[in-house]
Structure 1
Amino acid sequence: MPEGHTLHRLARLHRRRYVGAPVEVSSPQGRFSTEAAVIDGHVMTAAEAFGKHLFHYYGSQGIVHVHLGLYGTFTEYPLPVAEPVGQVRMRLVGRTHWTDLRGPNRCELLTPPQAEALIARLGPDPLRDDADPQEAWERISRSRAPLAGLLMDQSVIAGVGNVYRAEVLYRQRIDPMLPGRSLSRRRWDALWADLRQLMREGVRLGRIDTVEPEHRPEVMGRAPRRDRHGGEVYVYRRTHKPCLVCGTPVAQTKLAGRNLYWCPTCQPTE
């Protein structure tokens, strides 16, 4: 599932290509046809991301909410427009580019109160300037649940997925099973700051890179990582491979149905 940096990159791209001018909106697949007809030809006034959610604003006509889920993808092309390929849920056509959306978990037209209610259910997004880390801290500091699970809870922090949670916990040398209420405020502040920095780099680069310069492949003399997620990481999907810092085999387990990765030596049980 795409993590928050991907949605913020999409929002930035769609602001540049579509905001401020009328947009042709259609649903070649047909599942979004009624909603598309409402906004077709209207001006997109804003495009924003909140966590893993993307919102296209069309003034009084409503707000398109997209959640990509596991299989959703946006594909972007310069004009001219071509015939649809596959199951295109929503197509946008602007002044210079066109975009197709396929396979999203959600693609719906919301009223402003509905969009506000959805956003209100989300925790602070580290990529947004209006994010208040205090909100997340209050939830975490009262919880007995493992920190690794809390970081993936979108009502606690919005936008963090499996890669960022594994990597930030490793970088902060925190046991992923540490109960939230056992985390000190000092360590929480450091974790939040690191998360913001990592995710902003994700927006800038378009991939998740989490290793320090001294642990880059060219410095360590190791082969670059080969993975569809791209980027260099410490523990994510490195099960049984040696930790880049201490050499201990990276461990893996299941937590809330998702794979969790960590180094037992660098992140000892507390």
Structure 2
Amino acid sequence: MPEGHTIHRLAADYAELLGGRPVRADSPQGKFADGAALIDGQPLTTAEAHGKHLFLGFDGIGWVHVHLGLYGKVAFGAGPAPAPVGQVRLRLAGRDGYAELRGPNACALITEAEKDAIADRLGPDPLRADAEPELARRRIAASRVTVAALLMDQRIVAGVGNVYRAEVLFRHGIDPYRAGRSLTRAEWDAVWADLVALMREGVRLNRIDTVRPEHTPEAMGRPPRVDDHGGEVYVYRRAGQPCLVCGAEVRSATLAARNLFWCPDCQHRPAAP
């Protein structure tokens, strides 16, 4: 499932290509035909993201709410939109190009109140200017659940997925199995600041890179990572390989139905009091 940086990048791309001008809207697949008919010919006034949710605003009509889920994708093209190929849920076309949405988990025309209700269920998003990280800290500080599970809970921190979860915990030497309430304020402040920085870079580069300069392929004389997620990482999908920092074998386990990756030496669990 795409992480939050991807959704913020999509919002920026929609705004750049189609924002401020009337768009032609259709649903070749037919599943969003009624919604497309209502926004057809109207200007796209706003495009924004909150966590893994994308909102396309049309003044006086409402918001197109999109959640890509596991299989959803958006493709942008220049020039006139060609004849649709395959299952296109929503196509928006403007003067300079078009955007095609395929396979989302959700695509619905909603009201402002419904949009607010979705946002109210989400935790602070490191990529939003209105984020309140203290809300997330208080929830984490009160929980016996593992910090790894808490960071993936969209009600606590919106937009963080499996890659950012694994990488930010590694970068701060935090054992993923520690209880949330054991995290100190200093640790949380550092984790939040790092998420903000890493995810902003993710938006800029359109991929996830988390290794520090001294651990890049060029600096270490190692081959670059080859993975469909792209980017250079410390532990994500590196189970059984040597840690780039200490050389210990990166481990993997299943936690809350998701694969967890960590270095047992760099992220050692503190002794019980």
Question: Into which bin does the TM-score normalised by the smaller protein fall?
Answer: over 0.9
| Correspondence 1:1-270 to 2 at 5 A | 1-270=1-270
Distance 1:62 1:188 in 2: 37
Cα shift readout 1:181-224 (whole Å, capped 9, x = no counterpart) = 01000110011001111001101111100001110111111110
The residue identity in structure 1 corresponding to 2:262 is W
Report the alpha carbon displacement of residue 95 of structure 1 after superposing the two structures with TM.
1.3
Q: Is contact 2:14-2:99 (8 Å) kept?
A: no
Distance 1:64 1:26 in 2: 13
Report the alpha carbon displacement of residue 130 of structure 1 after superposing the two structures with TM.
0.8
Report the alpha carbon displacement of residue 164 of structure 1 after superposing the two structures with TM.
0.1
After TM superposition, the score normalised by the length of structure 1 is 0.99
Distance 1:247 1:3 in 2: 28
Distance 1:85 1:236 in 2: 34
Distance 1:267 1:77 in 2: 44
Report the alpha carbon displacement of residue 26 of structure 1 after superposing the two structures with TM.
0.6
Distance 1:144 1:50 in 2: 26
Cα shift readout 1:139-188 (whole Å, capped 9, x = no counterpart) = 10000000000000000000000000000000000000110001000110
Runs of 5+ consecutive residues of structure 1 not aligned to the other structure: none
Report the alpha carbon displacement of residue 16 of structure 1 after superposing the two structures with TM.
1.0
Question: Aligned to 1:48, what secondary structure does the other structure show?
Answer: strand
Q: CA RMSD in A?
A: 0.6
Question: Aligned to 2:42, what secondary structure does the other structure show?
Answer: coil
Q: Is contact 2:80-2:93 (8 Å) kept?
A: no
Report the alpha carbon displacement of residue 18 of structure 1 after superposing the two structures with TM.
1.3
Distance 1:123 1:243 in 2: 31
Report the alpha carbon displacement of residue 38 of structure 1 after superposing the two structures with TM.
0.9
Question: Aligned to 2:253, what secondary structure does the other structure show?
Answer: strand
Cα shift readout 1:53-89 (whole Å, capped 9, x = no counterpart) = 1000001111000000010000000112111111000
After TM superposition, the score normalised by the length of structure 2 is 0.98
Distance 1:195 1:73 in 2: 24
Runs of 5+ consecutive residues of structure 2 not aligned to the other structure: none
Cα shift readout 1:109-131 (whole Å, capped 9, x = no counterpart) = 00110011001100000001110
Distance 2:81 2:70 in 1: 27
The residue identity in structure 1 corresponding to 2:151 is L
Distance 2:214 2:269 in 1: 26
Question: Aligned to 2:244, what secondary structure does the other structure show?
Answer: coil
Cα shift readout 1:8-32 (whole Å, capped 9, x = no counterpart) = 1111111111111111111000000
* Amino-acid identity (%): 60
The count of residues paired between Structure 1 and Structure 2 equals 270
Report the alpha carbon displacement of residue 264 of structure 1 after superposing the two structures with TM.
0.2
Cα shift readout 1:32-55 (whole Å, capped 9, x = no counterpart) = 001111111111110000001100
Distance 1:64 1:94 in 2: 17
Distance 1:165 1:20 in 2: 36
Question: Aligned to 1:7, what secondary structure does the other structure show?
Answer: helix
The residue identity in structure 1 corresponding to 2:17 is R
